[in-house]
Amino acid sequence: MLAYLDHHATTPCDPAVVTAMAPWWSEAFANPASRLYRPALQAAAAVEQARARLGAALGVAPDAVCFTSGATEANNLALKGVVEAAAERGLSRRRIVSLVSEHRAVRDPLAHLHRHGAPLTLLPVQADGLLDLNLLEQALTPDVLLLSVMAANNEIGVLQPLAAIGRLCRERGVLFHCDAAQAVGQIPLTTEELGEELGIDLLSLSGHKLYGPKGVGALLVRPGVPLAAQQHGGGQEGGLRAGTLPVPLIVGLGVAVELALADREARALRLAPLRDHLQQALESLGGVTLNGCATARLPHSLNVSVAGLDGTRLHQRLRRQIAVSSGSACSQGSPSHVLAALGRSRAEAAASIRFGLGRGTTEADITTAITAVSEAVNQLRSGPTGW
Ligand SMILES: Cc1ncc(COP(=O)(O)O)c(C=O)c1O
């Protein structure tokens, strides 16, 4: 059986989440905006309960939660919404600062904004994928309106120093957006858990990355942050994001976030040693190098490059036994811009393997992965074009 080790791409929806969503499809199906009859009020109450659950789990007030279709939409709303709101107020601050290693769901809206006149600074990352805080400090000039830095990288799992970044932004009056699609439910993010404030003004999250349903996510907006709506219509979500609310998905998201936070620590403590064992076994094959920082990293994340091998042939051999990816699932075959940012060559990036362990990952899955990679590497190295 195929061992699923691609939890950065998506996670299986937890059966308890599926159960919680079930009544809201065909039985309690009323539109929460209808308001005039009981089933609609019940649907509206279910949405508000999910909002409260999400807010409580992440340490924000319920009205800071704006439901979206996922992290892509949340990022678009945050980035375009801040820029548009600033333009409407005639602010002289217009520059956006971000990182070269951001997900395309940030980079593409930024490129769009840049094409429409917003000055943009894309900072490099260091060889381990971490942002250089001195460089950031220099880049946060008085014309900077907004900084967008992801919490955890989807390819290499590297965790950026959010609290230090947040402090720099606050000191300079810069708004801080964080794409936390890979971090919520995986690492501590609340002030209560961390003992310090992250200083994030806008945070994007996604249901299907945390054992919830696909097609739902949220943007958390700090009260008072000026944000222009990007989708206009029926005035839902306080006018910020119009459209009939997908009640089952929202209910599922609320439950999924709670469940993901409830087992987060135990999951991390179980998965990190499995991940480390996988890493050591692969490194012992020789010519295998870790991509990204070894320490500031998601506990379930491993990305390695195998020297001297053809990436296409490597992945052709692996795919019969393990579900993993090379670079980002969203990069559609183009070489990984994240690995390029770390200084990896095209060939090294192509011969990279991203492993994402998850709630259902077993020791047997890790054994399968070690065997699959070892066999593939040995076969390719002994072949005519190998080492
Ligand atoms: C860091 C990051 N941001 C955004 C997204 C897009 O999320 P969604 O699928 O919810 O639109 C992903 C998904 O791959 C991601 O990893």
Mean pLDDT over residues 13-30, rounded?
98
CB distance 342 to ligand 1 below 6 Å:
no
CB distance 182 to ligand 1 below 6 Å:
yes
Q: pLDDT tens-digit profile of 308-341?
A: 999 999 999 999 999 999 853 444 567 899 999 9
Q: What is residue 333's predicted lDDT score, i.e. its pLDDT?
A: 63
**Max Cα distance, the chain (Å):** 73
CB distance 103 to ligand 1 below 6 Å:
yes
Say if residue 190 is exposed, middle or buried (CB neighbours under 10 Å; 0-12, 13-18, 19+). middle
Q: Residue 312 C-alpha to ligand 1 middle, in angstroms?
A: 24
Percentage of residues in the chain having pLDDT higher than 90: 93
CA dist 152 and 158 (Å) reads: 5
Go through 211-236 and write b for each residue having 16 or more CB atoms within 10 A of its CB, e for each that does not.
bbbbbbbbbbbbeebebbbbeeeeeb
Task: Give the nearest ligand 1 atom to 70 CA.
Answer: 10
CB distance 71 to ligand 1 below 6 Å:
yes
Confirm if 122 and 109 have CB atoms less than 8 A apart.
no
List CB contacts of 75: < 8 A, sequence separation 6 or more.
103, 105, 106, 109, 148, 177, 179, 204
How many Cα atoms sit within 13 Å of 255 on the Cβ side?
19
Task: Give the nearest ligand 1 atom to 102 CA.
Answer: 1
Mean pLDDT over residues 96-101, rounded?
98
Q: What is residue 22's predicted lDDT score, i.e. its pLDDT?
A: 98
CA dist 28 and 22 (Å) reads: 9
Q: What is residue 330's predicted lDDT score, i.e. its pLDDT?
A: 44
Q: What is residue 184's predicted lDDT score, i.e. its pLDDT?
A: 97
Name the residue of 72, 156, 219, 253 whose CB sits within 8 Å of the most ligand 1 atoms, as the mutation to test its pocket.
72
CB distance 151 to ligand 1 below 6 Å:
no
Mean pLDDT over residues 101-105, rounded?
98
∠ CA 216-51-224, nearest 5°, is 100
Name the closest-CA residue to atom 12, ligand 1: 181
Name the closest-CA residue to atom 14, ligand 1: 9
Name the residue of 101, 103, 150, 205 whose CB sits within 8 Å of the most ligand 1 atoms, as the mutation to test its pocket.
103
Single-letter amino acid code for the residue at 272 = A
Q: Residue 55 C-alpha to ligand 1 middle, in angstroms?
A: 20
Cα–Cα separations (whole angstroms), residue 261 to 87, 190, 206, 362: 38, 11, 14, 20
Q: What is residue 385's predicted lDDT score, i.e. its pLDDT?
A: 56
Q: Residue 121 C-alpha to ligand 1 middle, in angstroms?
A: 22
* Residue 386 in this model has a pLDDT that exceeds 80: no
Q: pLDDT tens-digit profile of 240-269?
A: 999 999 999 999 999 999 999 999 999 999
Percentage of residues in the chain having pLDDT higher than 70: 97
Name the residue of 250, 330, 337, 338 whose CB sits within 8 Å of the most ligand 1 atoms, as the mutation to test its pocket.
330
Name the closest-CA residue to atom 11, ligand 1: 72
CA dist 306 and 328 (Å) reads: 17
Q: Residue 232 C-alpha to ligand 1 middle, in angstroms?
A: 23
Mean pLDDT over residues 230-243, rounded?
97
Q: What is residue 329's predicted lDDT score, i.e. its pLDDT?
A: 42
Q: What is the mean pLDDT of the chain?
A: 95
Give the residue numbers annotated as catalytic, written as ranges: 330
Mean pLDDT over residues 136-158, rounded?
98
- Considering only residues 385 and 165, tell me which one the structure prediction assigns the higher pLDDT: 165
Q: How far is CA 229 from the centre of its chain?
A: 22
* Residue 296 in this model has a pLDDT that exceeds 70: yes
* Residue 342 in this model has a pLDDT that exceeds 90: yes
pTM to 2 decimals? 0.97
Q: How many of the other CB atoms lie within 10 Å of CB of 85?
A: 17
CA dist 97 and 327 (Å) reads: 24
User: Which structural domains are found in the chain, ordered by start?
Assistant: 3-11+264-382 (3.90.1150.10), 16-262 (3.40.640.10)
CA dist 88 and 32 (Å) reads: 32
Provide the terminal-to-terminal Cα distance of the chain, rounded to the nearest Å.
Answer: 30
* Residue 180 in this model has a pLDDT that exceeds 60: yes
Q: Residue 206 C-alpha to ligand 1 middle, in angstroms?
A: 7
Q: Residue 305 C-alpha to ligand 1 middle, in angstroms?
A: 23
CA dist 146 and 154 (Å) reads: 22
What count of residues does the chain have?
Answer: 387
Q: What is residue 311's predicted lDDT score, i.e. its pLDDT?
A: 94
